[in-house]
Structure 1
Amino acid sequence: MGEVLGYARVSTTDQDARLLHDALHKSGCVRVFTDTASGTLAHREQFARLSDQLRDGDTLVVWRLDRLGRSVSHLIEQLEDLQDRGVGFVSIQEAIDTTTPGGRLVFHVFSALAQFERDLIVERTTAGLAAARARGRVGGRPKKLSEQQVDTARALYESGSVSVAQIGRILGVSRSTIYRALDSKSIQ
């Protein structure tokens, strides 16, 4: 059996982490890592230190799920990473314990819901793009050069008297835009 390590996070320095620490120590945590940071931040220094110390067989304990993840999908990602590393997870307030069969079931239900949410987002995005195309709307950035400007760039390029950089200056665009325009014109 590995170590039981705790993680506490408070959003501001005005908040007191003692309640969290007391609950985590009562749950058997031998060490508690504490961040004072917004839940929206991707990098939390103490969580990174804790994560580096977690080993196969260890258990990570938090007071509540929202102390660990920024969003449901981020939380699921964190829990999947722990599971892949053989690290158990306990959330005291939600009574989730992935070291038990019931806790693993709850985790898998959360995972399935997060995947369902991701699939719905993809489905809605795809349907929205298809509907926009059906109405004649083309996505993406507007072209920097008109067809006439591309033809001018091609003629100047083929004449060999002007460099690509000079063509870009004449047309008011970068060299890479000229190269892309010349490539797209040769493909058509």
Structure 2
Amino acid sequence: MNSSRTYAYLRASTDEQNADRARNQLLEFATLHGIGISAFFVENESGASLYRPELMRLLDVAQKGDVLLVEQVDRLSRLDARNWETLTTMIKGKGIRVVALDLPTSQMMLKPGDEFTDRMMQAINGMMLDMLAAISRKDYEDRRRRQAQGIEQAKAAGKFKGRQVDNGLHERVLKLRAAGMSYTEIQQTTNVARSTISRILKSQSPE
């Protein structure tokens, strides 16, 4: 009897994004493959950062043979080579199986077979994960470079105004805090990063 569990990891890279679409896709995938999702770990953090609280919590909870389920590999990583190696070492060290909807070979890991087949699939899956992680990192770096170039061009043209404040979000966070909600409760309600919540609250504190 297979006692392994499946943990879904959802990451939105900006405060404006939400994980509802990805959550629905993972639920549909789980239903299609006859598996249950034991828990969802959701956060608004950059995939270029190794230390993401919810990802680290998932890795701490998961046991050998459990599945880490993601919509796309870039939801798990936009890390540079050194940090990606650190993350994969952590995952392999715990014996966790990574399954991504955009990586068909990984989906074969849902139903472990004999030892030889499992080792072969782990090797193939590892290579494919490395490749997609490298592509995700390059896409991240290319996007940042284009963004920086666009900002420089806008500055040169006198059109750059910087990042605009989301007044609606600020108002919601302040009202929720005034109502007595904790940082965690506000994060769950607004689906924004704790760092953003802290920044908004500090901006309203007296000097």
Matches within 5 A, 1:1-188: 1=2, 2-28=4-30, 29-71=37-79, 73=81, 74-97=83-106, 99=109, 101-102=120-121, 104-108=123-127
Q: Judging changes above 3 Å, is the alpha-carbon distance between structure 1 residues 26 and 76 closer, same or farther for their aligned structure 2 residues?
A: farther
Q: Higher Cα Rg: structure 1 or 2?
A: 1
CA positional deviation for 1:55: 0.4
Instruction: Give CA deviations for 1:29-88 in whole Å, capped at 9, x if unaligned.
Output: 221101111222232111121111010111101111111113252334423322221111
Counterpart Cα distance in 1 of 2:102 and 2:132: 20
Long gaps (5+) in structure 1: 115-188
> Normalising to structure 2: TM-score of the pair?
0.48
Contact 1:3–1:30 (Cα < 8 Å) also in 2:
yes
Q: 1:19 offset after TM fit, Å? A: 1.2
Structure 2 distance, partners of 1:93, 1:105, is 15
Quote the Cα distance in structure 1 between the aligned partners of 2:27 and 2:53: 21
1:96 and 1:103 in contact (8 A); partners too:
no
Residues 112 and 62 from structure 1, CA distance in 2 versus in 1: closer, same or farther, beyond 3 angstroms?
closer
User: Which residue type is aligned with residue 125 of structure 2?
Assistant: V
Higher RCO structure (Cα 8 Å, ≥6 apart): 2
Note if contact 1:7-1:61 (Cα within 8 Å) is conserved in structure 2.
yes
* Alignment root-mean-square deviation, CA: 2.7
Name 1:169's counterpart in structure 2.
none
Match of 1:129 in 2: none
Paired position in structure 2 for 1:136: none
Aligned-residue sequence identity (percent) comes to 23
**Count of residues in correspondence between the two structures:** 114
Deviations along 1:117-173, whole A, 9 cap, x unmatched?
Answer: xxxxxxxxxxxxxxxxxxxxxxxxxxxxxxxxxxxxxxxxxxxxxxxxxxxxxxxxx
Amino acid at match of 2:84: L
* 8 Å contact kept, 1:76–1:110: no
Q: TM-score, normalised by structure 1?
A: 0.52
Letter in 1 for 2:70: V
Range 93-102 or range 63-72, more displaced: 93-102
Following superposition, the deviation at residue 113 of structure 1 comes to 10
Alpha-carbon distance, 1:93 to partner: 1.3
